[in-house]
Amino acid sequence: MGAQAMVFDRDQRLLLVRHAYQPGWHFPGGGVESGETVVEALARELAEEVGLTLSKPPQLVGIYANFAAFPGDHIALFEVRDWEQGQVPVPSREIEEQAFFAGDALPSDATGGTRRRIAEFLGGAQKSGTW
């Protein structure tokens, strides 16, 4: 199980990350560890990857099957609008870059799952249960 977030800034732009170990731009987040809830995992991953602290609980957008990555895998996607970022972490072996993008001005190499979720959430595209 994974937990990812659509993090919005005050200008309604979305935070995306570029990993060192896989191509493209993705929502920040990661795997749920043993003994964690999905919200706890999301909070931990946001702190580790992008230096964010949640100010209010995130809102669940949906749970998506991600079987192309691993049989039985699911991603819980959350909307995050209330957060603080004390300092942007320096690039690391995991996260090479982070940036905010308007929903209609995504980088050309944003992943398919990222693009689909943004189109559903912001553009009114029909929601799919598959990442």
Each residue of 64-94: pLDDT tens digit? 999 987 888 999 999 999 999 988 888 888 8
| Token pair in block for residue 116 | 């689909």
Residue 32: what pLDDT?
Answer: 97
Are the beta carbons of 83 and 55 closer than 8 angstroms? yes
Average the pLDDT over 10-34 and give the result.
96
Tokens 């230096």: give the residue: 51
pTM of the model: 0.94
Q: How far is CA 104 from CA 14, 55, 74, in A?
A: 10, 27, 26
Q: How far is CA 117 from CA 35, 94, 122, in A?
A: 28, 23, 8
Where residue 103 falls among pLDDT bands split at 50, 70, 90?
A: very high
* 2-123: CATH number: 3.90.79.10
Residue spans of the domains in the chain: they are 2-123
